[in-house]
Structure 1
Amino acid sequence: MPHPDFLFPAQADMRAVARRLYGEVAGLPIISPHGHCDPAWFARDAPFSDPATLFVVPDHYVFRMLYSQGVPLEALGVPRADGGKTETDTRAIWRLLARNWPLFRGTPTRLWMEHGFSSLFGIEERLDAGNADRLYDLIASKLQEPAYRPRALFERFNIEALATTQAAIDTLEHHRTLRDSGWTGRVITTFRPDAVVDPAFPGFAGNIAELGRLTGEDTTTWRGYLAALMQRRAYFRGFGATATDHGHPTAATADLPADAAAALFGRVLAGAAAADAELFRAQMLTEMARMSLEDGLVMQIHPGAVRDHNPSVFARFGRDKGADIPARTDYVQALKPLLDRFGNESRLTVIVFTLDETSYSRELAPLAGHYPALRLGPPWWFFDSPEGMRRFRELTTETAGFANTVGFNDDTRAFCSIPSRHDVARRADCAYLARLVTEHTLDEDEAREVAIDLAYRLAKSAYRL
Structure 2
Amino acid sequence: MAQSRRLELHPDRLFPSDPVVRDIARRLYQQIKDLPIVSPHGHTDPRWFAEDANWDNATALLLLPDHYVFRMLYSQGIKLEELGIRRKDGAVVESDYRKIFHIFAKHYYLFRGTPSRIWLDTVFHDVFGLAETLCEETADHYYDSINAQLAKPEFKPRALLQRFNIELIATTEGALNDLKHHAKLKGTGFETRVITTFRPDDVVDADRADFAANVAKLGEITGEDTQSWQGYLAALRKRRAVFRDHGATATDHGHPTALTADLPMKEAAALFQRCLSGKASKADTELFRGQMLTEMAGMSLEDGMTMQIHPGAHRNHNKIIFDRFGADKGADIPSPTEYVQALKPLLQKYGNEASLNIILFTLDETTYARELAPLAGHYPALKLGPAWWFHDSPEGMLRFRHQVTETAGFYNTVGFNDDTRAFLSIPARHDVARRIDCRFLAGLVAEHRLTEEEAGELAYELTYGLVKKAYQLK
Q: TM-score, normalised by structure 2?
A: 0.97
CA deviation profile, 1:310-365 (whole Å, cap 9, x unmatched): 00000011111110000000000000000000000001010000000000000000
Matched residue, 1:10 = 17
Change in CA separation of 1:211 and 1:141 when aligned onto 2, cut-off 3 Å = same
Matched residue, 1:281 = 289
Matched residue, 2:3 = none
1:183 and 1:445 map into 2 onto residues whose CA distance is 36
Give the aligned residue type for 2:246: F
Alignment of 1:356-435 (within 5 A): 356-435=364-443
Superposed displacement of residue 200, structure 1: 1.1
Give the aligned residue type for 1:289: A
The answer to whether the 8 Å contact 2:192/2:247 transfers is: no
Say which SS state the counterpart of residue 137 (structure 2) adopts.
coil
Give the aligned residue type for 2:83: L
Give the percent of matched residue pairs that are identical in Structure 1 and Structure 2: 63
Q: Alignment partner for residue 42 of structure 1, among 43, 49, 60?
A: 49
Give the aligned residue type for 1:121: F
The answer to whether the 8 Å contact 1:58/1:78 transfers is: no
Matched residue, 1:181 = 188
CA deviation profile, 1:51-99 (whole Å, cap 9, x unmatched): 1111110100000000011111111111222232221111011000001
2:326 and 2:266 map into 1 onto residues whose CA distance is 36
Q: Alignment partner for residue 144 of structure 2, among 114, 127, 137?
A: 137
1:317 and 1:433 map into 2 onto residues whose CA distance is 44
The answer to whether the 8 Å contact 1:212/1:219 transfers is: yes
Superposed displacement of residue 135, structure 1: 1.2
Matched residue, 2:81 = 74
Q: Alignment partner for residue 337 of structure 1, among 345, 348, 355?
A: 345
1:282 and 1:122 map into 2 onto residues whose CA distance is 48
2:31 and 2:149 map into 1 onto residues whose CA distance is 31
Change in CA separation of 1:194 and 1:277 when aligned onto 2, cut-off 3 Å = same
Say which SS state the counterpart of residue 161 (structure 1) adopts.
strand
Matched residue, 2:254 = 247
Alignment of 1:118-137 (within 5 A): 118-137=125-144
1:33 and 1:54 map into 2 onto residues whose CA distance is 21
Q: Alignment partner for residue 328 of structure 1, among 311, 330, 336?
A: 336
2:251 and 2:9 map into 1 onto residues whose CA distance is 35
Alignment of 1:193-272 (within 5 A): 193-271=200-278, 272=280
Matched residue, 2:31 = 24
The answer to whether the 8 Å contact 1:175/1:239 transfers is: yes
Deviates more, 1:74-83 or 1:253-262: 74-83
Say which SS state the counterpart of residue 245 (structure 1) adopts.
strand
Give the aligned residue type for 1:123: L
Give the aligned residue type for 2:307: M
CA deviation profile, 1:134-154 (whole Å, cap 9, x unmatched): 111011000000001111111
Superposed displacement of residue 295, structure 1: 0.3
Give the aligned residue type for 1:405: T
Structure 1: stretches of 5+ with no match in the other structure: none
CA deviation profile, 1:291-326 (whole Å, cap 9, x unmatched): 000000000000000000000000011111110000
Give the aligned residue type for 2:378: H
1:185 and 1:286 map into 2 onto residues whose CA distance is 29
Superposed displacement of residue 182, structure 1: 4.2
The answer to whether the 8 Å contact 1:390/1:432 transfers is: yes
Matched residue, 2:452 = 444
Say which SS state the counterpart of residue 181 (structure 1) adopts.
coil
Say which SS state the counterpart of residue 48 (structure 1) adopts.
coil
Superposed displacement of residue 181, structure 1: 3.4
Give the aligned residue type for 1:310: N
1:389 and 1:258 map into 2 onto residues whose CA distance is 41
2:377 and 2:231 map into 1 onto residues whose CA distance is 37
Q: Alignment partner for residue 155 of structure 2, among 131, 148, 156?
A: 148
Matched residue, 1:310 = 318
Say which SS state the counterpart of residue 130 (structure 1) adopts.
helix
Structure 2: stretches of 5+ with no match in the other structure: 1-7
2:133 and 2:338 map into 1 onto residues whose CA distance is 42
1:80 and 1:210 map into 2 onto residues whose CA distance is 27
Give the aligned residue type for 2:354: S
Say which SS state the counterpart of residue 171 (structure 1) adopts.
coil
1:83 and 1:406 map into 2 onto residues whose CA distance is 43
2:222 and 2:237 map into 1 onto residues whose CA distance is 10
1:353 and 1:185 map into 2 onto residues whose CA distance is 26
1:23 and 1:71 map into 2 onto residues whose CA distance is 42
Aligned pair 1:347/2:355, yes or no? yes
1:42 and 1:33 map into 2 onto residues whose CA distance is 16
1:183 and 1:17 map into 2 onto residues whose CA distance is 37
Say which SS state the counterpart of residue 223 (structure 1) adopts.
helix
Change in CA separation of 1:156 and 1:185 when aligned onto 2, cut-off 3 Å = farther
Superposed displacement of residue 241, structure 1: 0.1
Give the aligned residue type for 2:382: L
The answer to whether the 8 Å contact 2:182/2:191 transfers is: no
Superposed displacement of residue 124, structure 1: 2.5
The answer to whether the 8 Å contact 1:191/1:245 transfers is: yes
**Number of residue pairs matched?**
465
Alignment of 1:101-112 (within 5 A): 101-112=108-119
Give the aligned residue type for 1:344: N
Superposed displacement of residue 2, structure 1: 2.0
The answer to whether the 8 Å contact 2:260/2:346 transfers is: yes
The answer to whether the 8 Å contact 2:219/2:225 transfers is: yes
Q: Alignment partner for residue 100 of structure 1, among 80, 97, 107?
A: 107
1:366 and 1:17 map into 2 onto residues whose CA distance is 30
Give the aligned residue type for 2:129: G
